Amino acid sequence: MAEKILFVDDDPNILSSFKRTLRKHYAIETALGPEEGLRAVRGSTAYALIISDLRMPVMDGIQFLTKVREICPDTIRMILTGNADLQAAMDAVNQGNIFRFLTKPCPPETLVMAIQAGLQQYRLVKAEKELLEKTLRGAIQVMADVLSLVNPEAFGRASRIRRYARDIGTRLQVPKLWQLETAAMLSQIGCVILTEEALQKVFTGQPLSAEEEQLYSMYPSVGADLIAKIPRLQDVSEIIAYQEKRFDGSGVPKDERYGETIPLGARILKVVLDFDALESSGLPRAAALLQMKRRRGWYDPRVLEALEDVLGDEARFQVKEMAVQDLQLGMIVGQDVLSLKGVLLIKKGQEITPALLERLRNFAKTVGILEPVRVLLPIK
338-366 residue pLDDT tens: 988 888 888 888 888 888 898 899 999 99
Q: What pLDDT was estimated at residue 172? A: 95
Which domains does the chain show, CATH number per domain? Answer: 4-127 (3.40.50.2300), 151-315 (1.10.3210.10), 316-380 (3.90.105)
**Hey, CA dihedral for 170, 175, 178, 183, is it positive or negative?**
negative
DSSP letters of 195-261?
Answer: -HHHHHHHHHTPPPPHHHHHHHHHHHHHHHHHHHTSTT-HHHHHHHHTTTB-TTS-BSS-SS--GGG
Looking at residue 145, its pLDDT comes to 80
State the angle between helix axes of 108-150 and 354-366 in degrees (0 to 180), rounded to the nearest 10: 40
Comparing 136 with 41, the larger pLDDT belongs to: 41
Contact between residue 8 and residue 29 where contact means Cβ atoms under 8 Å apart: no
Lowest mean pLDDT among 25-39, 74-88, 102-116, 226-240: 74-88
Highest-pLDDT range among 88-92, 122-126, 257-261, 341-345: 257-261
Residue 45 pLDDT > 80, yes or no?
no
d(CA 266, CA 367): 38
Number of Cα atoms under 13 Å in the Cβ half of residue 127: 6
Task: Supply the pLDDT for residue 86.
Answer: 59
Out of 69-78, 130-139, 256-265, least confident range: 130-139
Confidence at 94, pLDDT banded by 50, 70, 90: low
Average pLDDT over residues 156-169: 91
Buried b (16+ CB within 10 A) or exposed e, 233-253: beebbbbbbbbbbbbeeebbe
Among 15-29, 148-162, 220-234, 246-260, which stretch is predicted with the lowest mean pLDDT? Answer: 148-162
- For 34-63, the three-class secondary structure string (H helix, E strand, C coil) is HHHHHHHHHCCCCCCEEEEECCCCCCCHHH
Above pLDDT 70, what percent of the chain? 95
Output the CA–CA distances (angstroms, integers) from residue 303 to 117, 237, 269, 349, in the order listed: 47, 20, 9, 20
The larger pLDDT score, comparing residue 299 to residue 314, is at 299
Over residues 273-293, the pLDDT tens digits come to 999 999 888 888 889 999 999
pLDDT score of 205 more than 90: no
Q: Inform me whether the pLDDT recorded for 96 exceeds 70.
A: no
Question: For residues 109 and 202, what is the distance between their CA atoms, to the nearest angstrom?
Answer: 69
Whether residue 55 has pLDDT greater than 80? yes
What pLDDT was estimated at residue 148? Answer: 78
- What is the arithmetic mean of pLDDT over 77-82? 86
Left (φ > 0), alpha (ψ -120 to 50) or beta: where does 29 sit? beta
* pLDDT, position 315: 63
Calpha distance 74→97 (Å, rounded): 11
Q: How confident is the model at residue 51 (pLDDT cuts 50, 70, 90)?
A: very high
Q: What is the pLDDT of residue 90?
A: 63
Tell me what pLDDT residue 379 has: 67
Asked if the model's pLDDT at residue 65 lies above 80, the reply is yes
Q: Is a pLDDT exceeding 90 seen at residue 234?
A: yes
Contact of 6 with 41, CB cutoff 8 Å: yes
Amino acid at 232: R
According to the model, what pLDDT value does residue 280 have? 86
Please state, rounded to an integer, the average pLDDT across all residues of the chain: 89
Distance in angstroms (rounded) separating the CA atoms of residues 21 and 247:
60
User: Does position 167 have pLDDT exceeding 90, yes or no?
Assistant: yes
By C-alpha distance, which of 238, 258, 135, 134 is closest to 186? 238
Q: What is the pTM of this model?
A: 0.65
CB 74 within 8 A of CB 122: yes
pLDDT for the residue numbered 215: 92
Given this model, what pLDDT does residue 303 score? Answer: 98
